[in-house]
Structure formats: structure tokens, C-alpha cells
């Protein structure tokens, strides 16, 4: 019966398809349309259900926006971080953690960004980047390095400081992109550039040293050049040049700063070509081709910021300086020979005569250490004429010294008695036609008449003589000028001029080294000489030349060699007439005393001579003039020289009267005062003559028997 | 030489007021004080300058020997004070300038009224019984990194300052000066800064001093600040609630307040 509920076709029978328990019934859980059936779209396990992980709206579905943004952050090829403004890491992506080899919990909340960088980057961050970020609120592409388990990773860092969300809190977003290739490339560029700069710096320092050494003259010049260019410019605070002496030992020659000692001695055994670092000192051997010339001892800069010394630069400096010292030694030897020759040529015999005095100074050139062919000469031409010459041969060194010697001899040879200065120069013109090296030499030649003080002089292209009068202002003598020797303009006639000297007047001859300076004109130099010489007239001749050269040359700018000659005329004989009434005796005593003092007589000698002369005059008046007041006595005082090798100066006083008298006995002599005279002067002679009687007093000018 | 030109000295504030001199540290120049110095202008004569080699200083005055030690920088400071002929001044030195101030005050105490030392360190390298924060190897690494960053120091820093599209006026203002340092001089200054040891100079100072220390500072850690405080007779120490080595930029208001309180006390 289908109507019976248990009949399978009855609708209430469980097997009936309409029965709810029948699997095909829609309410049956296994029916696909039942909501709990897994294939039903609303069932959570159905792929189209939103909570199903494969559903696109499910948060874990890869296409869900949150999931993909986080994924992009984590998997970004750049390392990304979020920081607090103080640098503490708030978040970091997987890339950063992978680079740093750290887990998230090692980093977030505990580390700062700078703690992830190498120490250089850390300090760069703290001192530069953090301040900039705070001021600028951003950084772009800064090169720093991240510490990784595999070493440093070069990155470029960009960062912005911004507010987080809607709140007032600020955060820093940082992106680090790997810059390995770019960094390698840059480093190669940097390394190349730094190497180029280093080479350039070294080259420049070495060039400065080389240039200074090549200009240096002599051993001291080399030492000074080293101290100037190889101490401070190469990072040392003090330096000393030690030089090998003749005994082979080292001694300090020149220093800048405190003397740098050599440790440990003996240094020569320690060093064989390479600079050696001894404590703070760098010892640079200065080795020539065959010998160790010395050591440049440097105190290296001790400041914390000082860079380490460059041994190869110092090695090169030592080699250069060693060769420079080779040259300097050779040069000094050669210059020494030339100077010796020059001095021996200048040291010849010079005349002695009490009627004139002279003084000279010769200084070899400073800059080149070389003699320059300057000379002076003093010789007599005839009994009463003294000739002086100062000249200058063009050129330097041995050649100039030899030419100077020839020309100097030639002047003596052609300056015969009676040949004036202009004629002497004309003869020298012919001489230098034959002697090439002496051509265009300049010279000044003066002839002083010792009797009357008249000077004839001529200048062949030479600086003018300077007249220094005993009283009054000095002045240059611009007369008698003509061209240098061998230089002929139109006529071969040479001019000359004259000047009259008074007693005690002086004539200064000199070479151009005394007045020429690079930085001043010749006129200015002559003015300086004039003003320097003016106050010196109270000094003796030698003091004058030494004061002049001292004042003019010790300014450190003198370069050329210098020759100076000062000629002083002592003045004529003293000749006076004294009337028989003896009114003129007092003035005579004074004048004679002054005359003797001018000639260098000591006070006691002068007093003795004045006493003797007074006695002689009184005697002459009494015995020679017969008491006739219209008669007079002639007194003449002169200097002469004693016989014998010393040729000591001797005073000769002659008292002449018109009478004829003779001392016959000792008592006569006493009566005539001869005893007094004999007691105080060396020799007293009475000489009768056709016109009267002469009494001659002879006495050594400077003590002792003549 | 004109030392005021050499050190790019600027004087502002109240003429005749008590002088306060701000000295910038390693890495930057006087603009480091831009948020601090103006606060003192109402009552003080404010002196700012750049160390030789930094900012607007005369680079030609840089002397590799003189400036290879902090004494050379201290001598520069004394010359500036001399040239300004100031009464005893408050010297505020940041970072390496703290030690430069210590050296100057030890040398010429009559020139100084107070020292304010911001993030001082008498020695950066660890030593027996002393922790400076860096090992010698790390300092060598710094110097090597600085060499590596040669371009970074010269070419990169400039575009970094200029490239502020949103704030072009700021960029232009800063281009010529902020943190501008000649790279070669910066390298040497780094050696001078990080290899100096001025611990023995601290006891020489008799000038009252204030140590300003950041809570955290990898360059000059708090224990180093304490070391300075303990070795400076008559010094005080204030820990600022900020991190990093440049509290004058990261917490300028705290720096101003601490200095003002100290000077008012």
C-alpha cells in the first residue's frame, strides 16, 4: 500500500525523495544545495565563500590588498625601515633582516639605524646625517654601508621625516638600496683619483724640494733649501741637517725648530740609504754618489691628526739632497780656489808713506760664493805721487780672477811717473784688445800728489769716487768719465778731471757691489752710501771702510762681491815764519801740536817736540837774529821715514834763522838750550848754510829711537 | 691675519651683554646652533664662528701642522677672543669643541667665565680602565670609511643638501654653508678629533663647567660624559631626555633651558 507511511513510496517514508532525510531532499545535509554542504557557496570551505582562504577577499588570499602590501614591503628589493626620530627602529622588512643576518626581534624596538651601519657610517650618521635629517626632514642617496655577516654592504640611503597617520608623532621612513656595483665603480674612481692626487701632492712636494735644491748654492744653501721645503711641507714640526765633518763624524749644521738629535749614535752604521724611523724622529740619510754627506733629522708632527710619513717621498728627498751636496762640495772647492787666488792677488806689497793712509775691504760674493774679479791697488808712481785703482772685471770665478790679475798688473806697468790717468786708461784700451777676458772691465784710477793734495782721476765706466772732506758734506766726483775699457764710442781719447784735497780729506773708491741691490735703483744706492758715509768722518780709515761695508752689506741682500778703498791725504808740511819779537810763538806751539796730533803723535811725544821746537825758535831769535825785531825765523815740520826695514815715521823739524852761529863747547850748548833739546828729542843737528843757520830736530813719531 | 675673517666670526645679540661663545663640533659649522643661539640674543652678546676648514672659514688658513692637534684649534679660539677683546665669556662647545674649550680655558682661564660642554669626550678610543666607546680598530675603520666616502663627503653631501624639492628655499639657504667641509680637511679633522687624548687636560681646568649629556649617544656615551664631569672640578652634569649626538638640533629647547638654568643659578 502506497498510502501506508512505511511504504517506500509514501512521502513520509525516509527513502521517499521528498522525505527530509532522503539524500536528494534539499534539506538533507548531503544535498549540494544544503548550506552546510561543502559545495554550497555559502559553506566556509567553498572556494567562493569570502572566508575561504582562496577567496580573493580573504585577508590571506595573495590578491587581498593588505596581504599584498605587506608582502611587497617584506619582499622589496630595497631594505625598508621605519624609525623614531631618534633613530630607534620601529619596523624593518625581510630584506634588511636578511642583509643584516638578524631576526626581527633583534632589531625592532631595540636597535637604532646607526647601529646597523659600519662605524664610519655610524659616525657619519650621528655627526652629519641625523642633524641634516632633523633640519631638512629628508636625505637623498647618501652613501653608507650596512654591516652584514658577509662584510660591508654599500648602500644608498634615502629618508624622510614625516608624521605617522593622523597623530602628532613623527616617524622616519628609510629606504636602503644596494649599491654594490655602483659603489665598486665609484670606489675605483675614488681610488684612482686619490692615487692621482697623492702622486700629484708628492710630485709637487718633490718638485719644490728639487727646485730649491737646484737653486741652492753651497753646502749651507743646500741645508737651508732642505729645511725650507722638506720639513713643514712634508709634515714635520722640526728638522736639523747634520753634516759629515772631515773626521767623518756628524754635527748639526742648520735647524728649523729645536735641534733634532740623532739616535742612536753612531748614525752612520745604522743607515744605508733608506729613511729610518726612530721613535718620533725620521732620519733621512743624505747620500751622495760615493759618500754619506749627512742626515736630515725630522721630528714628525705629533698631532693626532697628522698623517703618517711617506717613506718613498723622503727617500727621494734624501737622494736629491745627497746629489745636491755632491755638487755643493765640488762647487765650494772651485769657489775656494778662485777666492784664494783673488785674495793672493790682492794681498801684494803696498807702499808706506806717512803723507797718506789707506784702508781696504774685500768681500767675495754671497749668493754664488764666487769671486767676481773686483780689485783694488795702491802703488807709487815717482817720489811724490801715489796711485790708487779700484776696478771690476766682467764675469765670475776662476776666469775673472785670472783676468783681474792680468789687468791689475797691466795698470801698474803702464802707469809710469808722469803718465796721467786718462793716458793710463788709453794704454789699457790697447791692452784689453789683446786680453779678451779683461774687456769691458770698469775701473777708476786716481793719482794723488802727496806734496799739494791735488788729485787727477779718471773713470772708465766705473762708479764715481766719493770725496769725504775733513770738514763739510761728502760729494761724488762726476768728472773724468768715459766708457769701460775696450769700449770705444767715436774717439779713443779718455778724459780726466782734478780735485783738490785738503789735509785729512779722503777719497772713497768702490765697486758696484757696495751700492747695487736688486730691489733698489742705482741712484738710491748712491744716496744711501752718501748718507751712511756722512757721519763717519771722525773715524780712522779702517774703521770707516768697515763701518760702511757693515752698514751697507749686512742687510742680507748683498749678493755681488765688493771692493772698497779709502785714501786719506795727511796734508802738506807745516811751514811758519815767526817774527823775532816772538809774538808768533804761542800760535806756532798750538799749530805744531795740532799738526803732530793729526799725524798720530802721542801726546807726550808731541809735548816733547813742541818744547824742543820752542827752545829752537827762542835760540834762533836770540843768536841768529841779533835782537832785531824785523828779522824772522822759519819753522818747517814734515814727516819722513827712518832708514831700515821698518821705515818708521820720523818727524823732522827745521828751524832756520839768517845768522851764522855755531856751538863750540858744551857750555855754549847749554847756553843755547841745546841740552834741553837733546834731552827730549832723538837727534839735534846744527847746520850752517849760505843764508844762515838751520837747526834740525829729528824724532820718532811713535816713541822709541828712530 | 684677520682672525675674525679667518674664523668667519659673527657677533649678534645685546651689545655689552655678557658674552656667550658657541663652538660647533666635528662635521658641521656654526649653523648647528641655529635653534639654540637666538634664545640668548636678548640678554647676551652672542658669538658664533667656524673652525678653520669648516663652513665659511678661510680654508687658506688651514695649517696641517697647527691643526693636527686640538691645541691648534684652541689657539684659534683664544685668538678670536683676543681679537674681540671680550670680558670673561661663557663658552658653549659641542662635541670636539668641548675639548677645544677645555684646552683654551686651561691655557687662559681669565678669558672664560663658564664652560658648557655638550656631548664631550676626552678620548674616543678605549684604553686600559677607560671606555671611550670605540676600539682603535673601529677608528681606523672610520678613517678608512671616510676615505671610501671621499665622493660621499664632497659630491654627495652637496646634492643631499640641495635636493629638497618641497622646500627649495631651505635648500638654497643651506647649500653654501651647512656642514660644508673641505673633504681633505674633514679627513684630517676626523683624525685629530678621534685620535686625540685630552684626559690629562681635564684636571688643569678651574673654570666652572656644565656637562650636557644625551640619554643615549653612540659617539659620546653617558659614561664618558660622567667621566668628564667627575674629572672637572666644580662641574655639574645634566642628562637631556634625548638621544643622539646632536641635542642642539634634536632637543634645542632642552639645551636652551639647561644652559639658561645653569647661568641663572
CA closest to A195 among chain B residues? B147
For chain B, where are the E strands, in sequence order?
10-13, 19-23, 45-49, 89-94, 112-118, 209-216, 235-243
- Residues of chain B found within 8 Å of residue A141, distances taken between Cβ atoms: 156, 159-160
Q: Does A232 touch chain B (CB under 8 A)?
A: yes
Per residue, what are the HEC states of A628-688?
A: CCCCEEEEEEEEEECCCCCCCEEEEEEEEECCCCCCCCHHHHHHCCHHHHHHHCCEEEEEE
Cell numbers at residue B119, please?
656631548
The CA radius of gyration of chain A, in Å to the nearest whole number, is 56
Q: Residue A266, preceding bond cis, omega within 30 degrees?
A: yes
Higher pLDDT, A350 or A187: A350
Residues 6+ apart with CB under 8 A from B145: A118, A119, A120, A121, A124, A145
Res A510: pLDDT: 95
Cβ–Cβ below 8 Å for A130 and B245: yes
In the predicted model, what is the mean pLDDT of residues A569-595? 83
pLDDT of A664 over the 70 cut: no
| Residue-level pLDDT at A249 | 82
Tell me the shortest Cα–Cα distance from B16 to chain A, in angstroms.
32
How many CB atoms sit inside 10 A of residue B182's CB? 16
Res. A414: pLDDT tops 60 = yes
The residue of B31, B32, B65 whose CB has the most chain A CBs within 10 angstroms, and thus the best one to mutate to test that interface, is: B65
Whether B64 sits inside 8 A of A134 (CB atoms) is no
Query: How many Å lie between the alpha carbon of A197 and the closest alpha carbon of chain B?
Result: 11
So what's the pLDDT on residue B230? 96
Looking at per-residue pLDDT, the higher value among A38 and B109 belongs to B109
State the residue for C-alpha cell 651683554.
Answer: B17
Listed by number, the residues of chain A in 382-421 with a beta carbon closer than 8 Å to a beta carbon of chain B are: none
Give the orientation angle of helix A180-215 with respect to helix A218-229, to 10 degrees.
160
Percent of chain B at pLDDT > 70 equals 85
Contact between chains at A143 and B70 (C-beta distance less than 8 A): no
- Does the pLDDT at position A241 exceed 50? yes
CA distances from B218 to A86, A163, B24, B94, B122 (A): 12, 26, 18, 15, 15
Residue B114 predicted with pLDDT over 80: yes
pLDDT bin (cut points 50, 70, 90) of residue B165 is very low
Fold of the B3-122+198-264 domain: Rossmann fold (3.40.50)
- Region A556-561 average pLDDT: 66
Computed from CA positions of residues B103, B109, B110, B115, in that sequence, does the dihedral angle turn out positive or negative? positive
| B179/A128 Cβ within 8 A | yes
Looking at the structure, give the CATH architecture of the domain made up of residues A351-569. 4-Layer Sandwich (3.60)
pLDDT of amino acid A662? 63
How far apart, in whole angstroms, are the C-alpha atoms of residue A75 and residue A265? 69
Estimate the crossing angle of helix B136-148 against helix A180-215, to 10 degrees: 90
Smallest Cβ–Cβ distance between B141 and the set A119, A128, A135 belongs to A119
Tell me if B95 and A123 make a contact (CB, 8 A cut-off). Answer: no
Cell numbers for A232, please give them: 713643514
Query: For position B152, what pLDDT does the model report?
Result: 45
Select from B25, B68, B161 the Cβ nearest to the Cβ of A305. Answer: B68
Residue A367: per-residue pLDDT: 54
Q: Which residues of A touch B171 (CB under 8 A)?
A: 136
Q: Is pLDDT of B163 > 50?
A: no
- A112: which chain B residues are within 8 Å (Cβ-Cβ)? 218, 243
Sign of CA dihedral A204, A205, A207, A212: positive
Q: Which of A188, A197, A201, A193 is nearest to A235 (CA)?
A: A201
Q: Which of A363-367, A472-476, B7-11 has the lowest mean pLDDT?
A: A363-367
Interface residue A235 vs chain B (CB under 8 A): yes
Peptide bond into A264 cis (omega under 30): yes
Q: What is the mean pLDDT of residues A39-46?
A: 73
* Residue of chain A whose Cα is closest to the Cα of B124: A123
Q: Grid coordinates in use for B20?
A: 656667550
| pLDDT, tens only, A482-525 | 999 988 766 667 899 999 988 778 999 999 888 888 778 888 98
Could you say which of A126, A132, A187 has the minimum Cβ distance to residue B148?
A: A187
Q: Which residues of B touch A237 (CB under 8 A)?
A: 65
- A389 close to A458: Cβ distance less than 8 angstroms: no
pLDDT class of A386 with cuts at 50, 70, 90: very high
Is residue B91 a contact partner of residue B104, using CB atoms and an 8 Å limit? yes
**Does A120 sit within 8 Å of B149, measured CB to CB?**
yes
Q: Using 50, 70 and 90 to split pLDDT, how confident is the model at A464?
A: very high
Where residue B149 falls among pLDDT bands split at 50, 70, 90?
A: low
Q: Is the pLDDT assigned to residue A10 strictly greater than 80?
A: no
- pLDDT digits over B10-52, tens only? 999 999 999 999 999 887 788 889 889 999 999 999 999 999 9
Phi-psi region of A341 (alpha: psi -120 to 50; beta: other; left: phi over 0): alpha
Q: Does A119 touch chain B (CB under 8 A)?
A: yes
In this predicted model, what pLDDT tens digit does every residue of A677-695 receive, in sequence order? Answer: 888 888 888 888 778 888 8
- Would you state the pLDDT for residue B69? 92
Q: Say how far residue A110 (Cα) sits from the centre of its chain.
A: 63
CB A63 within 8 A of CB A72: no
Report whether pLDDT(A15) > 60. Answer: yes
Q: How far is A411 from chain B (nearest CA, A)?
A: 58
With a CB cutoff of 8 Å and minimum separation 6, the contacts of A530 are A466, A474, A475, A476
Segment A396-417 mean pLDDT: 86
The pLDDT score that the predictor gives to residue A666 is 53
The whole-chain average pLDDT of chain A stands at 82
Q: What is the dihedral of CA B158, B164, B170, B171, to 10 degrees?
A: 20
Does A399 score more than 90 pLDDT? Answer: no
CB contact under 8 A, B246 and A130: yes
Whether A120 and B159 lie within 8 Å, measured CB to CB: no
> Which residues face A66 on adjacent strands?
none
Q: pLDDT value at position B170?
A: 40
- CB–CB of B249 and A130 under 8 A? yes
Nearest to A310 by CA among A278, A289, A273, A284: A284
Under 8 Å between Cβ of B150 and A194: yes
Pairing of strands B89-94, B19-23: parallel
In contact, A263 and A270? CB cutoff 8 Å = no
Give backbone dihedrals phi and psi of A606, rounded to 5 degrees, phi first.
Answer: -65, -45
Q: What is the mean pLDDT of residues A145-174?
A: 85
pLDDT band at A348 (very low <50, low <70, confident <90, very high): confident
Residues A618/A657, Cβ–Cβ less than 8 Å: no
- Return the SS3 of A48: coil
Contact A126 B244 (CB under 8 A): yes
CB A621 within 8 A of CB A658: no
Specify the residue for cell string 525516509. Answer: A14
Residue A421: what pLDDT? 94
Q: CATH 3.40.50.970: does it fit domain A193-335? A: no
pLDDT at A324 over 60: yes
Structure confidence at residue B177 (pLDDT)? 42
CATH 3.30.450.40 domain position(s) in chain A? 193-335
Beta bridge partners of A146: A117, A153
Residues of B labelled as active-site residues: 95, 217, 245
CATH 3.30.450.20 maps onto chain A at 76-178
Chain B residue numbers with beta carbons less than 8 Å from the beta carbon of A127 are: 25-28, 95, 219, 245-246
Higher local confidence (pLDDT), B160 or A649: A649
According to the model, what pLDDT value does residue B205 have?
95
- Three-class secondary structure of residue B65 per DSSP: coil
Domain ranges of chain B: 3-122+198-264
Alpha-carbon distance A194 to nearest alpha carbon in chain B (angstroms): 9
- Provide the number of CB pairs (under 8 Å) joining chain A to chain B: 158
Reference B224, options B129, B132, B152; nearest CA is B132
A280 touches chain B (CB under 8 A): no
Cα-flanking dihedrals φ and ψ of residue A171, to 5°? Answer: -130, 160
**Long-range interactions of A252-258: CB distance < 8 A, separation 24+:** A253/A219, A253/A220, A253/A223, A253/A294, A254/A220, A254/A223, A254/A224, A254/A227, A255/A227, A256/A227, A256/A228, A256/A231, A256/A232, A257/A231, A257/A299, A258/A299
Asked if A132 lies within 8 A of B178 by C-beta distance, the reply is: yes
* CATH of the domain spanning A76-178, picked from 3.40.190.150, 3.55.50.30, 3.40.50.1820, 3.30.450.20: 3.30.450.20
Topology given in CATH for the domain delimited by A574-700: Heat Shock Protein 90 (3.30.565)
* Better-predicted residue by pLDDT, A119 or A385: A385
pLDDT tier, A667 (very low <50, low <70, confident <90, very high otherwise): low
Higher-confidence position of B153 and B214: B214
Q: Where are the beta strands (DSSP E) in A50-124?
A: 79-83, 89-92
Amino acid at each position: 500500500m502506497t498510502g501506508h507511511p512505511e511504504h517506500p513510496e509514501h512521502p513520509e517514508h525516509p527513502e521517499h525523495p521528498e522525505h527530509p532525510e532522503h539524500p536528494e531532499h534539499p534539506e538533507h545535509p548531503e544535498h549540494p544545495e544544503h548550506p552546510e554542504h561543502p559545495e554550497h557557496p555559502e559553506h566556509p570551505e567553498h572556494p567562493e565563500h569570502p572566508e575561504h582562504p582562496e577567496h580573493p577577499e580573504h585577508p590571506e588570499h595573495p590578491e587581498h590588498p593588505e596581504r599584498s602590501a605587506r608582502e611587497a614591503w617584506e619582499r622589496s628589493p630595497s631594505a625598508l625601515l621605519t624609525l623614531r626620530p631618534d633613530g630607534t627602529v620601529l619596523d624593518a622588512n625581510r630584506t634588511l633582516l636578511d642583509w643584516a643576518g638578524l631576526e626581527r626581534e633583534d632589531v625592532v624596538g631595540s636597535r637604532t639605524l646607526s647601529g646597523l651601519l659600519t662605524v664610519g657610517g655610524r659616525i657619519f650618521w650621528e655627526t652629519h646625517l641625523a642633524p641634516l635629517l632633523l633640519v631638512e626632514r629628508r636625505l637623498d642617496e647618501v652613501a653608507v654601508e650596512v654591516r652584514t655577516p658577509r662584510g660591508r654592504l654599500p648602500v644608498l640611503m634615502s629618508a624622510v621625516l614625516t608624521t605617522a597617520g593622523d597623530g602628532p608623532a613623527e616617524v622616519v621612513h628609510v629606504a636602503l638600496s644596494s649599491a654594490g656595483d655602483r659603489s665598486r665603480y665609484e670606489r675605483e674612481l675614488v681610488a684612482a683619483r686619490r692615487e692621482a692626487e697623492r702622486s700629484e701632492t708628492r710630485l709637487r712636494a718633490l718638485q719644490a724640494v728639487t727646485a730649491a735644491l737646484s737653486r741652492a748654492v753651497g753646502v749651507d744653501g743646500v741645508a737651508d733649501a732642505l729645511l725650507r721645503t722638506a720639513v713643514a711641507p712634508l709634515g714635520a714640526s722640526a728638522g736639523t741637517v747634520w753634516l759629515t765633518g772631515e773626521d767623518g763624524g756628524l754635527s748639526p749644521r742648520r735647524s728649523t725648530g729645536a735641534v733634532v738629535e740623532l739616535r742612536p749614535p753612531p748614525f752612520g752604521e745604522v743607515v744605508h740609504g733608506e729613511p729610518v724611523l726612530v721613535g718620533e724622529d725620521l732620519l733621512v740619510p743624505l747620500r751622495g754618489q760615493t759618500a754619506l754627506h749627512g742626515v736630515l733629522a725630522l721630528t714628525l708632527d705629533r698631532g693626532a691628526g697628522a698623517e703618517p710619513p711617506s717613506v718613498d717621498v723622503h727617500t727621494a728627498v734624501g737622494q736629491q739632497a745627497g746629489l745636491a751636496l755632491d755638487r755643493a762640495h765640488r762647487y765650494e772647492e772651485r769657489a775656494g780656489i778662485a777666492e784664494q787666488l783673488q785674495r793672493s792677488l790682492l794681498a801684494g806689497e803696498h807702499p808706506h808713506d806717512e803723507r797718506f793712509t789707506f784702508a781696504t775691504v774685500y768681500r767675495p760674493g754671497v749668493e754664488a760664493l764666487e769671486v767676481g774679479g773686483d780689485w783694488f791697488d795702491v802703488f807709487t808712481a815717482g817720489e811724490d805721487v801715489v796711485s790708487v785703482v779700484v776696478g771690476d772685471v766682467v764675469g765670475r770665478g776662476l776666469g775673472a780672477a785670472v783676468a783681474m790679475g792680468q789687468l791689475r798688473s797691466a795698470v801698474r806697468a803702464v802707469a809710469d811717473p808722469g803718465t796721467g790717468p786718462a793716458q793710463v786708461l788709453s794704454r789699457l784700451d790697447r791692452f784689453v784688445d789683446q786680453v779678451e777676458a779683461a774687456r769691458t772691465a770698469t775701473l777708476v784710477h786716481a793719482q794723488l800728489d802727496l806734496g799739494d793734495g791735488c788729485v787727477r782721476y779718471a773713470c772708465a765706466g766705473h762708479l764715481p769716487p766719493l770725496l769725504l772732506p775733513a770738514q763739510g758734506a761728502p760729494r761724488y766726483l762726476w768728472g773724468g768719465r768715459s766708457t769701460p775699457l775696450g769700449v770705444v764710442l767715436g774717439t779713443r781719447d779718455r778724459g780726466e778731471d782734478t780735485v783738490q784735497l785738503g789735509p785729512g780729506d779722503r777719497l772713497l773708491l768702490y765697486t758696484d757691489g757696495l751700492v747695487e741691490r736688486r730691489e733698489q735703483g742705482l741712484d738710491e744706492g748712491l744716496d744711501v752710501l752718501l748718507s751712511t758715509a756722512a757721519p763717519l768722518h771722525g773715524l780712522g780709515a779702517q774703521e770707516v771702510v768697515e763701518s760702511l761695508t757693515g752698514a751697507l752689506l749686512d742687510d742680507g741682500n748683498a749678493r755681488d762681491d765688493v771692493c772698497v778703498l779709502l785714501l786719506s791725504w795727511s796734508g802738506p808740511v807745516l811751514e811758519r815764519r815767526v817774527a823775532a819779537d816772538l809774538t808768533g810763538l804761542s800760535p806756532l806751539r798750538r799749530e805744531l801740536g795740532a799738526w803732530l796730533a793729526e799725524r798720530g803723535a802721542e801726546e807726550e811725544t808731541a809735548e816733547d817736540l813742541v818744547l824742543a821746537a820752542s827752545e829752537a825758535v827762542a835760540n834762533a831769535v836770540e843768536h841768529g837774529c841779533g835782537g832785531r825785531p824785523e828779522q824772522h825765523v822759519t819753522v818747517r815740520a814734515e814727516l819722513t821715514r827712518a832708514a831700515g826695514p821698518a821705515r818708521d815715521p820720523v818727524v823732522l823739524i827745521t828751524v832756520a834763522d839768517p845768522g851764522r852761529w855755531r856751538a863750540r863747547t858744551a857750555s855754549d850748548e847749554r847756553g843755547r838750550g841745546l841740552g834741553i833739546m837733546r834731552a827730549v828729542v832723538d837727534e839735534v843737528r846744527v847746520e850752517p848754510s849760505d843764508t844762515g843757520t838751520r837747526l834740525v830736530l829729528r824724532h820718532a813719531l811713535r816713541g822709541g829711537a828712530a | 691675519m684677520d682672525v675674525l675673517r679667518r674664523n668667519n666670526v659673527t657677533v649678534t645679540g645685546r651689545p655689552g651683554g655678557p658674552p656667550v661663545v658657541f663652538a660647533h663640533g666635528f662635521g658641521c659649522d656654526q649653523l648647528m646652533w641655529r635653534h639654540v643661539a637666538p634664545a640668548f640674543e636678548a640678554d647676551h652678546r652672542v658669538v658664533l664662528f667656524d673652525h678653520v676648514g669648516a663652513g665659511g672659514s678661510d680654508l687658506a688658513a688651514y695649517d696641517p701642522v697647527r691643526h693636527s692637534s686640538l691645541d691648534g684649534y684652541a689657539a684659534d679660539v683664544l685668538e678670536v677672543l683676543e681679537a674681540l677683546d671680550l670680558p670673561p665669556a661663557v663658552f658653549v662647545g659641542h662635541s670636539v669643541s668641548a675639548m677645544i674649550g677645555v684646552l683654551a680655558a686651561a691655557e687662559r682661564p681669565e678669558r672664560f667665565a663658564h664652560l658648557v660642554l655638550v656631548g664631550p669626550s676626552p678620548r674616543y678610543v678605549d684604553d686600559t680602565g677607560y671606555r671611550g666607546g670605540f676600539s682603535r680598530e673601529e677608528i681606523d675603520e672610520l678613517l678608512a670609511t671616510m676615505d671610501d666616502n671621499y665622493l660621499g663627503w664632497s659630491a654627495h653631501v652637496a646634492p643631499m643638501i640641495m635636493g629638497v624639492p618641497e622646500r627649495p628655499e631651505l635648500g638654497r639657504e643651506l647649500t653654501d654653508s651647512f656642514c660644508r667641509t673641505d673633504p681633505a680637511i674633514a679627513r684630517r679633522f676626523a683624525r685629530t678629533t678621534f685620535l686625540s687624548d685630552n684626559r690629562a687636560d681635564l684636571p688643569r681646568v678651574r673654570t666652572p663647567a656644565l656637562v650636557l649629556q644625551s640619554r643615549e649617544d653612540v659617539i659620546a656615551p653617558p659614561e664618558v660624559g660622567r667621566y668628564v664631569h667627575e674629572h672637572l672640578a666644580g662641574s655639574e652634569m645634566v642628562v637631556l631626555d634625548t638621544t643622539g649626538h646632536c641635542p642642539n638640533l634634536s632637543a634645542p629647547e632642552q639645551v636652551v633651558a639647561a644652559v639658561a638654568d645653569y647661568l641663572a643659578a
